Amino acid sequence: MAAALSAGYVPCLERFLRQAQRACDTPRRAALLLAPLADGETLLHLLSYGDVRHVAALVATVGKLLDRVEKAENIGLAWPVLLMRVTCSLVHVLSRMRIGQARRRMRVRRKAQRHSHVPAPAQAQQQGEGSAVAAGAAGGSSSATTSAGPSGVSPDPEAPIRQLRLLGSLAVALWVPKAMRLLVEDRFYAMGQCSREHLVGELLRMVGALVGAHGRAVGRDGEYGAASASWRALLLGRMGLPGSLEPVVAWLAGRAVTPSAALVAPLEQLALAFPAEMRAALGAATETALWRALRTFLSWSAEGSRAKRLLEALEDLRGCRCGEEDAALYRLKEQGAGAGSEGDGEGEDGGALGGARWEASLLCPPCEVVADLPLRLCAYPSCASLEGDSEAGVSLLECSGCEVVSYCSRRCQEAHWKGAHKHACAGRGGEG
């Protein structure tokens, strides 16, 4: 991987992908270059050790490819499935990030326990070994990450981990919303139920991680903090939750898929995080398509199971009055906490929100990703322009009103202004 990165694998891959889509073609060489990312391990190394600007540009390009595949017709099945598998490989990335985080915590505890008993030279040796383990937690080998750079100075061993968090969070925010809409289309019927059910489960798991990240931001900065507001805009705005889950749940219900804990937990998290929005999506006066799909899906479970408890809580939520959503879900929260404390395998922290809590702790809020990313991207979420060879070389037009967001074209700026930016820009004192 080090040789491939130094030889320009990332910009070459991005250039091939953009040229292929502009020509309405998917050449075999581009597919072969993208296929290794679907195994998760290659994507992990790329996000950790690739050039930040080049990798961020590639992540943005893959997001635009998902947009184009969703709108294209007669494109076949192989190319969309490959993009879906690349998206779901982010679960492997999050798992490895969790392992790295656990190793760092263990190393800190051990150093604290042995600090008063270890002589100074041995402490220096342990610090060197600890740096190698920290770098290896991101998925790379310790010898590769601790070797001296061109100037002869060893790089920061924590840099790959910080870069992995930043770029991994960017990939989750850009890919998962589009993949959720894409997976339920008719073209994926030929995949087979087992493969498709696996992809749906992986995507729901990442949705649970995003909802959990919003909960952590609310607990840390309050409901109106910048981090929680950016998560809320992503989940309720760009992803359209909870209403956008209707085709996914309807597909699960139509094929009599067993509502396992892994599939139920993200729905539970969503109801507890956004009770008012969930009540509106379920429909208090009339039944909505989402409520019918959830009722059918959750009915395929035994009495007293987690799915049945969620179904009962959602029925209470539909029947409650406006402003009483938290009270309607109180029993669900308490029962979920009890189940989590009994070791139901839903998360190391337990509770209804414990299923993806460890993954949520690894994700950076969208506002921090935008601030820390050394590459400015088009602010229009549905931008699918692939002009040029790389996102890193696209000239952006800055909004003259707020001077915060930028766009790749006047068309994207006008579309975003009509959508959501008009109110955001006015709130900052801009005129558009």
Are 356 and 281 in the same domain?
yes
Confidence at 184, pLDDT banded by 50, 70, 90: low
Residue 419 confidence (pLDDT) above 80: no
In a domain, 51, yes or no: no
Domain termination site, one of 363, 387, 406: 363
Residue 57 confidence (pLDDT) above 90: yes
Among the listed residues 327, 313, 256, 255, the one whose alpha carbon sits nearest the alpha carbon of residue 282: 313
pLDDT digits (tens, 9 = 90+) for 394-415: 999 888 888 888 999 999 999 9
Confidence (pLDDT) at 104? 67
pLDDT digits (tens, 9 = 90+) for 191-210: 666 677 888 888 888 888 89
In a domain, 92, yes or no: no
Q: Which has the minimum average pLDDT: 290-304, 345-359, 371-385, 407-421? A: 345-359
Confidence (pLDDT) at 114? 67
Q: How many domains does the chain have?
A: 2
Radius of gyration of the chain (CA): 23
Domain termination site, one of 335, 363, 391: 363
Confidence (pLDDT) at 87? 87
Confidence (pLDDT) at 55? 94
Confidence (pLDDT) at 221? 86
Half-sphere exposure (CA, 13 Å, Cβ side) for 284? 15
In a domain, 129, yes or no: no
153 compared with 182, residue with greater pLDDT: 182
In a domain, 218, yes or no: yes
Confidence (pLDDT) at 350? 39
Asked if residues 257 and 298 have their Cβ atoms less than 8 Å apart, the reply is: no
Sort 389 into a burial class: Cβ within 10 Å, 0-12 / 13-18 / 19+: middle
Q: What's the CA gap between 188 and 203, in Å, rounded?
A: 15
Confidence (pLDDT) at 186? 63
Instruction: Give yes or no for a cis peptide into 242 (omega within 30° of 0).
Output: yes
Q: Which has the minimum average pLDDT: 48-57, 72-81, 389-398? A: 72-81
Q: What's the CA gap between 47 and 348, in Å, rounded?
A: 26
Residue 29 confidence (pLDDT) above 70: no
Question: Which range marks the domain in which residue 422 is found?
Answer: 374-427
Q: What's the CA gap between 46 and 43, in Å, rounded?
A: 5
Domain termination site, one of 363, 389, 415: 363
Residue 124 confidence (pLDDT) above 80: no
Q: What's the CA gap between 104 and 256, in Å, rounded?
A: 42
- Mean pLDDT score across all residues of the chain: 77
Are 293 and 348 in the same domain?
yes
Asked if residues 357 and 267 have their Cβ atoms less than 8 Å apart, the reply is: no
Residue 94 confidence (pLDDT) above 70: yes
In a domain, 234, yes or no: yes
The vertex-302 CA angle with 297 and 306, nearest 5°, equals 70
Q: What's the CA gap between 397 and 408, in Å, rounded?
A: 6
Residue 313 confidence (pLDDT) above 80: yes
Quick one: average pLDDT of 10-24? 81
In a domain, 27, yes or no: no
Asked if residues 364 and 226 have their Cβ atoms less than 8 Å apart, the reply is: no
Residue 298 confidence (pLDDT) above 90: yes
In a domain, 198, yes or no: yes
Residue 407, beta-bridge partner list: 397
Are 321 and 355 in the same domain?
yes
pLDDT digits (tens, 9 = 90+) for 144-172: 333 344 444 446 777 888 898 899 999 98
In a domain, 356, yes or no: yes
pTM beyond 0.85, yes or no: no
Residue 339 confidence (pLDDT) above 80: no
